[in-house]
Amino acid sequence: MADKTLQFLDFPRRDPDKLPVPERLAGFGEIYAQFEAPAAAEQAGRCLGCGNPFCEWKCPVHNYIPNWLQLIADGKLFEAAELSHKTNSLPEVCGRICPQDRLCEGACTLNDGFGAVTIGSIEKYITDEALKQGWRPDLSGVTPTGKRVAIIGAGPAGLGCADILARNGVTPVVFDRYERIGGLLTFGIPAFKLEKDVVETRREIMEGMGVEFRLGVDVGRDIPFTQLLQEFDAVFMGMGTYEYVKGGFAGEDLPGVHEALPYLVSNINRALGLEKDPGEYVDLAGKRVVVLGGGDTGMDCIRTALRQGAESVTCTYRRDEENMPGSRRDYKNSKEEGCTFLFNRQPVEIVGKDRVEGVRVVETRLGPKGPGGRRVPEVIPGSEQFIEADAVIVAFGFLASAPAWVEEAGVLLHGNRRVRVSANQRRPFQTTNPKVFAGGDMVRGSDLVVTAVHEGREAARGILDYLGLH
C-alpha cells in the first residue's frame, strides 16, 4: 500500500485552470476554474499533516487547515465544510482573495522546493461545492437568548461578528448604507476576483441563520446612533476605512485624476445595475493610464482599466518588486494581462494644464529601515522622468475615517482616527463605551479581509461576555 504521506512526490502542485488572457480581458468574470472532486482530493492529499502546522499559525483566523485537507482527501465534503466554518465566517471569500502566498501557502512546509499545497483553492472548493450539494450551517441546537445586537457595517468584520452571535442565540441586526451586503467585498473588489453572487449567496445563508439585514440605511443620517444604543443590548461597529491617502504633490486635483475606490465602485455599480448617476462612471477605454501604488487596490485598478480597453496601463511603485505589498498572484496576473511596472519610481507631480498630461517621477533606492521596519525609499538626485498619461489613478491606500457621532457616544479614538479598543482577553475589542465594540479596518487600519473577519468574530466573543452569555 502506497504511503500517503509521500503523495506530494507523486502529484506536483497544480492550481485550478485559468482563463487565457484574451478571454479574461473580454469580461469581468472570475478567471480561475473550480476544482473537480478528484483533483481537490489529489491536491489535498499532498498535505504532510505537520505536527505543528505552520499554515495554521500564519492564518489570521487559524483555520484547521491540515484537518479539512484530510477530510477532502477522504471524500468527506460536508464534514470539511463544518470544520472550515468553525474558524472562518467567509471561507469561500478568503479562498478567492486572501494573499495565500504571504499567509498559509507561504508557510507550508512543501513551499521549500516541492510547491505548497493549494490551500486557498481547496478552501474555496469546500464551501462552493458543499453549498451546491445542499449543505447549510446547522443551528438546530442553538437556544435563542432574546438578546439583540446592532451591527454597523455589512463588511467582513460585521459579517464575522454576526455569524458568531447567531450561533450563540443572539439576534444580529446588520445596518449598512449600501444596498447589498459585503462592503468592499461587493463594491471595491472587482468581479474577476470575487463574483458578486458569491456574496449574495452568503447573505442568504446568514439570513437562514437568523441574521437580519437593514440595507440602504446610513447610521448617523437615516437613524441616530443613540437610537441603536437605546434599542439594542450592544452595538458592534465595523465600518472600515474609506478616506484615501493623498500623495501631497501638485496636480492631484486635475481632471483625469481619479481616486482608486470611487473608480472601482463606479465600475461595479454599473455592472450591478446600481448606478444612480451615469456621470459617476469612469471609462478609461482608449486612454494611457498610470496607476500610482503597488498594493492590492492598485492591482484591482490596473486590471479593471485593462478590461475597459485602456490603450496602455503603467504602474509605478516607490520600492522594488520584492517589497511590493500586493498579492503575488494579482501582480502576476496584472503583468500577464498587459500592465507595465516601473519599480523604484516615486511620483512628485501630476502634470497638465486643463487636464492630465502625464506624471513626473524620480528614481529611488532603498535606504535604512524606518520606524515600521520597512526600508525607506530615498530619492536619487537628477533621476527625474516624465510618463505621458491621459488618466491617473491614485491608489496609496486608505485612512481611518470614524464619523463624528462615534466620539459623541463616548467612544475614544487614537490620534489617527482609529477606534481605541480594549486589550482585555475576556472582552476583546470593547471600546471606551462599554456597550460598544469595534473591529476590522476602523480599529487596525486598512488590512486584509481575513483579518477583519477574525476581529469581528473576536469582538462577538467579547459581546457575549458583556451580555453574560459566556
The DSSP result for 112-151, as a single string, is: TTT----HHHHHHHHHHHHHHTT-----TTPPP---EEEE
DSSP code per residue over 54-79: HHHHHSTT---HHHHHHHHHTT-HHH
pLDDT at 224: 97
DSSP reduced 3-state for 196 = helix
Identify the CATH number of the domain defined by range 271-394.
3.50.50.60
The one-digit pLDDT tens for each residue of the chain (470 residues) are 345 666 766 789 999 999 999 999 999 999 999 999 999 999 999 999 998 999 999 999 999 999 999 999 999 999 999 999 999 999 999 999 999 999 999 999 999 889 999 999 999 999 999 999 999 999 999 999 999 999 999 999 999 999 999 999 999 999 999 999 999 999 999 999 999 999 999 999 999 999 999 999 999 999 999 999 999 999 999 998 888 888 899 999 999 999 999 999 999 999 999 999 999 999 999 999 999 999 999 999 999 999 999 999 999 999 999 998 888 999 999 999 999 999 999 999 999 999 999 999 999 999 999 888 889 999 999 999 999 999 999 999 888 889 999 999 999 999 989 999 998 889 999 999 999 999 999 999 989 999 999 999 999 999 999 999 97
Q: Compute the distance between CA of residue 393 and CA of residue 299 in angstroms, rounded to an integer.
A: 11
Q: Say if 4-132 and 271-394 have the same CATH topology.
A: no
- Grid look-up 481616486 returns 259
Domain segments of the chain as ranges: 4-132, 148-241+400-466, 271-394
How crowded is the C-beta side of 81, counted as CA atoms within 13 Å? 19
Residue type at position 7: Q
Total residues belonging to the chain: 470
Q: Compute the distance between CA of residue 324 and CA of residue 169 in angstroms, rounded to an integer.
A: 43
CATH class of 148-241+400-466: alpha beta
Q: Compute the distance between CA of residue 185 and CA of residue 164 in angstroms, rounded to an integer.
A: 19
Please give the helix or strand (H or E) that residue 352 lies within, else none. strand 345-352
The three grid cell numbers given for residue 136, joined into one nine-digit string: 447549510
pLDDT at 1: 36
Contact 206, 159 (CB under 8 A): yes
pLDDT at 424: 87
The three grid cell numbers given for residue 387, joined into one nine-digit string: 510618463
Q: Compute the distance between CA of residue 154 and CA of residue 183 in angstroms, rounded to an integer.
A: 6
Alpha carbon 431 to chain centroid, angstroms: 24
How crowded is the C-beta side of 66, counted as CA atoms within 13 Å? 16
In the beta sheet, which residues pair with residue 358? Answer: 351, 388
pLDDT at 226: 96
Could you give phi then psi for residue 40, rounded to 5 degrees? -65, -45
Domain with residues 4-132, CATH architecture: Orthogonal Bundle (1.10)
The three grid cell numbers given for residue 124, joined into one nine-digit string: 474555496
Alpha helices in 221-295 (DSSP H): 225-231, 260-272
pLDDT at 8: 64
